[in-house]
Amino acid sequence: MMEHSIRGIRKEAHRYPIWVATILSTLYYFGVRDGVRFGISRHIADIVGPDMVVLEAINAISPTVFVGGMLLGWWRVTAILESDAEGRRTDAFEMCAGITGLLSVFVIGIVVVTVCVNIPRYGVPSLVLLLPLFAVTVAYTAVSTVIGAAIGTVMGRSITGRVGAGFTFIIMLFQEIFANFAYVLISNTSLNPFNQPADPVLFFFHRSSPLNLYNVLTNWLYGIGNSSSAAYITTKQLYPRPGVHEVRTNAYIVQHTFDGSAPWFLSEWVGLLLMGGWFVASVGLMYWRLPSS
pLDDT tens profile 66-97: 999 999 999 989 888 887 666 678 888 899 99
Contacts by 162-166 with C-beta closer than 8 Å and gap 24+?
165/74
pLDDT tens profile 225-248: 999 999 988 998 888 877 665 667
pLDDT of residue 35: 58
Q: Which is it for the CA torsion 131, 137, 140, 146, positive or negative? A: negative
On the question of pLDDT at 262 being above 60, the answer is yes
Q: What is the mean pLDDT of residues 199-207?
A: 90
- Mean pLDDT over the full length of the chain: 86
- Residue in 95, 192, 151 with CA at minimum distance from that of residue 286: 151
pLDDT of residue 3: 66
User: Could you tell me the residue ranges of all domains in the chain?
Assistant: 2-157, 177-272
Angle ∠(167,169,173) on CA atoms, nearest 5: 120
On the question of pLDDT at 167 being above 80, the answer is yes
